[in-house]
Copies of this chain bind each other. A is one copy, B any other.
Amino acid sequence: MPKGQPTTIPDDGLTTRQRRNRPLIIVHTGPGKGKSTAAFGLALRSWNSGFDIGVFQFVKSAKWRIGEQTVLERLGQLHEETGEGGAVTWHKMGSGWSWSRKDGTEDDHAAAAAEGWEEIKRRLAAEQHDLYVLDEFTYPMKWGWVDVDDVVETLQSRPGRQHVIITGRDADPRLMDAADLVTEMTKIKHPMDAGQKGQRGIEW
């Protein structure tokens, strides 16, 4: 909660304001809970600042729908109706990317993931969103479906003022090097260890 002060002032020729407003690459990784949840919590905050939010979920299943999707889409609708907050668009690999003709029932997840990344590249080039949530995007990188160097290079050279959050376990060291903010979520204790399954309202 404390706002804090930078511990060093870099010699980068930028004013404090310019430096403050640099867009961020944020990574939430580690084996613990809260990586995606914190990303969507951040999206909530960004919505309130009027950011245009694009969510890209690299999940295999179309069935998996989390409460955050319903609420953030509802907030996007509120934006359209009343002008409050920002726009929200939500894309999910498992149900077929919304801009794609493919229906998501195919088993070629590698191709679907690559297709998702290509669209994100186009949008970054066009400065389409203010905040990109690339949920579970570390996995296609880990599995070689998306080239890590291409991701790092694309993110580092992205134009304008676009923030990008990437979530998932086992983030590649090159991605973490390129990121401005990396948080690792570590599991200390989980109800699953005591035989308790996930429940509505808490887990999804």
Is the C-beta of A101 less than 8 angstroms from some C-beta in chain B? no
Contact of A30 among B27, B67, B186 (CB under 8 A): B186
Residue of B with least CB distance to A130: B201
Q: Are B180 and A196 in contact (CB under 8 A)?
A: yes
- A interface vs B, CB < 8 Å? 1, 3-10, 12, 16, 19-22, 24, 27-30, 32-34, 36-42, 44-51, 59, 64, 66-68, 70-72, 74-75, 78, 84-85, 130-131, 136, 163, 176, 179-204
Q: Are B183 and A191 in contact (CB under 8 A)?
A: no
**A68–B45 CA distance with the chains assembled, in angstroms:** 5
Which residues does chain B contribute within 8 Å of A131, judged by CB atoms?
201
**A34–B121 CA distance with the chains assembled, in angstroms:** 27
Please name the 9 residue pairs, one residue from A and one from B, whose CB atoms are nearest each other, closest first.
A41-B41, A49-B201, A48-B67, A34-B38, A45-B67, A37-B41, A182-B188, A38-B38, A10-B195
Count of chain copies: 2
Q: List 22 A-B contacts (CB under 8 A).
A: A1-B64, A3-B203, A4-B197, A5-B192, A8-B193, A9-B195, A10-B194, A19-B195, A20-B197, A22-B191, A32-B183, A33-B181, A33-B183, A37-B38, A49-B200, A51-B201, A71-B85, A74-B84, A176-B189, A181-B191, A182-B189, A184-B188
**A6–B20 CA distance with the chains assembled, in angstroms:** 44
Q: Are A183 and B186 in contact (CB under 8 A)?
A: yes
Given contacts A6-B197, A196-B20, contact A67 B44 (CB under 8 A): yes
